[in-house]
């Protein structure tokens, strides 16, 4: 909610409180709100009626849907975006929607600012309003008035169930070998439930929230743990925090803190998406990034919006759609504009990786030049980033990430000499992130294979898979490992060491119990 919207709501709330104390009807209060707010905020009559009832857009929509259901009609397509357009004067409701809005507010179309009679041909006022003087003296206790009062939000049993599932998972991870942990059905359901309710809060309610300073510190702490904590364990912690944020956002709080809470929702949703990439669930990862974009849009922060977008671009990049990754990377670059930030450095790298994936190792010179120019832009942008962002592996962009992805691009372009130098530098910088260490080693194996050394490629690839623990051996790692296997088979299907590589790749979790970093 902007400062202007907050001020409008505050004035309307004061007018409503005084009107209710004086025994006025909601229709009378709406007229007073319109008179008090229209000059300063261009408040329309239809919006004044909603404010006079003290309800949100979502409540009006639910009332309209309930009326459609009562009349045995198909569920309407009206949503908050459309109702907001009515309230801002950008659109006029059609005859049917106007009828139901009049029914919700118990007024005629003219009271909502629209000329002409209603399509139903009869009035919408409650019987008490058209009765004797005694009835008109007691308008504040009408049944419809009571229905529209907003009560404190009761506990959400579904939300509590999802949180309990994640807490039980955390407890289990403390007591068992993490290499045996899996992203099973109940955990996936809990993840999706928390994400969906966050979406509903962002889209369906007035977003104004409170937060404590330690929540922000916890968010950045999770970012620091991203490289050192097993992904499923970290996901549970992050989502429990996200659920707490959603609860805070569902209650009205001071406006000056709303942006901080939306920022944290965007960061936690984006971090959840990043972890789910590591766990190999690209569908759920994409959903969390969409939630992150919704939250980031509320802040108006170009750098944050660009960060969520470029992080999302890794989903199609890793899971087979280089063209969409290129599109999202360019969109992130546009969102960042001239703002020095992590996305300014990361977006050109993703562009270069997508170009390399589309062209392959037999890239034409113009593609190679285009990708290298993108890498040069990334290095230049990195040099202008704040020092704290250069050290933040999750919410910023580090030098070791730049080396790793530059080596990956050069490998995919077939520039093996340059790639091996850069990949060696990257590997020395990754001491605490086994996932990226494994990906770097698989790139090194690809370089050796491109140069024709199948034996060494298999040796490097097998070592990489032996070093990675089972809790990290997800689809995210298996995909490039399988790609290496197929490339080796294409060159020499009977290569010595191929069977050992296959066995290591397809091992069961019991075979290397507790192995890896």
15 and 62 inside one domain: yes
Q: What is the DSSP letter of 448?
A: H
Q: Which has the higher per-residue pLDDT, 471 or 387?
A: 387
> What digits encode the pLDDT tens for the residues 281-324?
888 999 999 999 999 988 889 999 999 999 999 999 888 788 99
73 and 33 inside one domain: yes
194 and 219 inside one domain: no
**Residue 3: pLDDT band by 50, 70, 90 thresholds?**
low
> What digits encode the pLDDT tens for the residues 195-211?
877 776 665 444 333 44
> What digits encode the pLDDT tens for the residues 352-392?
989 988 886 566 788 888 989 999 999 999 999 999 899 88
The reply to whether 387 falls in a domain is: no
Spell out the SS3 assignment of 100-142. Answer: HHHHHHCCCHHHHCCCCCCCCCCCCCCHHHHCCHHHHHCHHHC
Is the entire prediction scored with pTM above 0.85? no
Domain that holds residue 70: 3-112
Determine what percent of the chain is predicted with pLDDT higher than 90. Answer: 32
Sign (positive/negative) of CA torsion 336, 341, 342, 345?
positive
236 and 261 inside one domain: yes
pLDDT for 246: 86
pLDDT for 166: 82
Sign (positive/negative) of CA torsion 476, 480, 485, 490?
positive
> What digits encode the pLDDT tens for the residues 427-468?
888 776 777 888 899 999 999 999 999 999 999 999 989 888
Q: Of 300, 320, 339, which one is at a domain's C-terminal end? A: 300
For 324, the enclosing helix (H) or strand (E) is: helix 322-336
Closest to 477 (Cα-Cα) out of 419, 437, 515, 432: 437
Determine what percent of the chain is predicted with pLDDT higher than 70. Answer: 83
176 and 240 inside one domain: no
254 and 274 inside one domain: yes
Check pLDDT > 50 for residue 140.
Answer: no
> Which of 55-59, 91-95, 501-505 has the weakest average pLDDT?
91-95
50 and 107 inside one domain: yes
- Rounded Cα gap, residues 125 and 241, in angstroms: 46
184 and 249 inside one domain: no
- Rounded Cα gap, residues 54 and 51, in angstroms: 5
The reply to whether 126 falls in a domain is: no
Closest to 351 (Cα-Cα) out of 332, 337, 365: 332
The reply to whether 125 falls in a domain is: no
The reply to whether 218 falls in a domain is: yes
pLDDT for 137: 38
The total number of structural domains that make up the chain? 3
The reply to whether 86 falls in a domain is: yes
- Rounded Cα gap, residues 325 and 218, in angstroms: 30
Check pLDDT > 90 for residue 265.
Answer: yes
The reply to whether 227 falls in a domain is: yes
The reply to whether 214 falls in a domain is: yes
**Residue located via tokens 């857009």:** 57
pLDDT for 298: 85
The reply to whether 54 falls in a domain is: yes
In 143-281, where does DSSP find H-type helix? 143-147, 157-175, 185-204, 213-225, 231-249, 255-279
Q: Of 237, 265, 300, which one is at a domain's C-terminal end? A: 300
pLDDT for 314: 92
> What digits encode the pLDDT tens for the residues 10-51?
899 999 999 999 989 998 999 999 999 888 888 999 999 999
28 and 86 inside one domain: yes
């Amino acid at each position: 909610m902007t400062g202007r919207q907050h001020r409008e709501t505050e004035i309307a709330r004061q007018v409503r409180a005084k009107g209710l104390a004086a025994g006025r009807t909601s229709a009378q209060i709406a007229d007073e709100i319109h008179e008090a707010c229209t000059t300063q905020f261009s408040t329309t009559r239809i919006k004044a009626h909603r404010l006079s009832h003290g309800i949100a857009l979502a409540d009006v929509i639910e009332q309209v849907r309930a009326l459609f259901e009562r009349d045995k009609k198909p569920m309407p397509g009206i949503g908050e975006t459309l109702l907001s357009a009515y309230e801002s004067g950008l659109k006029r409701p059609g005859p049917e929607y106007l009828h139901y809005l009049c029914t919700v507010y118990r007024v005629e179309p003219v009271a909502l600012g629209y000329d002409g009679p209603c399509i139903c041909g009869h009035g919408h006022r409650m019987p008490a309003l058209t009765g004797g003087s005694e009835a008109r003296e007691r308008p504040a206790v009408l049944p419809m008035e009571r229905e529209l009062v907003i009560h404190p939000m009761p506990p959400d049993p579904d939300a509590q169930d999802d949180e309990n599932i994640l807490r039980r998972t955390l407890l289990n991870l403390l007591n068992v070998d993490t290499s045996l942990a899996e992203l099973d059905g109940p955990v996936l359901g809990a993840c999706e439930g928390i994400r969906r309710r966050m979406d509903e809060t962002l889209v369906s309610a007035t977003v104004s929230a409170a937060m404590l300073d330690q929540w922000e510190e916890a968010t950045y702490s999770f970012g620091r743990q991203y490289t050192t904590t097993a992904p499923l364990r970290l996901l549970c912690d992050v989502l429990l925090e996200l659920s707490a944020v959603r609860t805070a956002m569902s209650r009205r709080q001071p406006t000056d803190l709303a942006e901080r809470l939306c920022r944290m929702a965007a960061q936690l949703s984006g971090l959840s998406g990043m972890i789910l990439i590591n766990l190999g669930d690209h569908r759920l990862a994409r959903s969390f990034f969409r939630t992150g974009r919704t939250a980031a849009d509320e802040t108006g922060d170009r750098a944050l919006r660009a960060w969520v977008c470029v992080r999302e671009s890794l989903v199609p990049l890793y899971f087979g759609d280089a063209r969409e990754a290129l599109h999202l990377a360019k969109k992130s670059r546009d969102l960042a504009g001239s703002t020095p930030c992590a996305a300014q450095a990361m977006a050109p790298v993703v562009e270069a990786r997508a170009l390399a994936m589309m062209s392959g190792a037999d890239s034409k010179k113009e593609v190679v030049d285009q990708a290298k120019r993108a890498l040069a832009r990334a290095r230049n942008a990195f040099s202008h980033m704040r020092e704290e962002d250069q050290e933040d592996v999750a919410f910023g962009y580090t030098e070791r990430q730049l080396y790793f992805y530059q080596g990956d691009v050069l490998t995919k372009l077939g520039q093996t000499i340059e790639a091996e130098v850069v990949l060696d530098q990257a590997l020395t910088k990754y001491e605490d992130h086994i996932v990226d260490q494994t990906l770097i080693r698989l790139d090194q194996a690809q370089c050796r294979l491109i140069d024709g050394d199948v034996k060494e490629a298999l040796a490097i690839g097998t070592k990489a898979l032996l070093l990675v623990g089972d809790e990290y051996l997800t689809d995210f790692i298996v995909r490039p490992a399988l790609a290496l296997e197929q490339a080796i088979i294409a060159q020499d299907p009977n290569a010595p060491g191929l069977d050992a590589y296959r066995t290591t790749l397809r091992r069961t979790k019991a075979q290397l119990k507790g192995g890896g970093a």
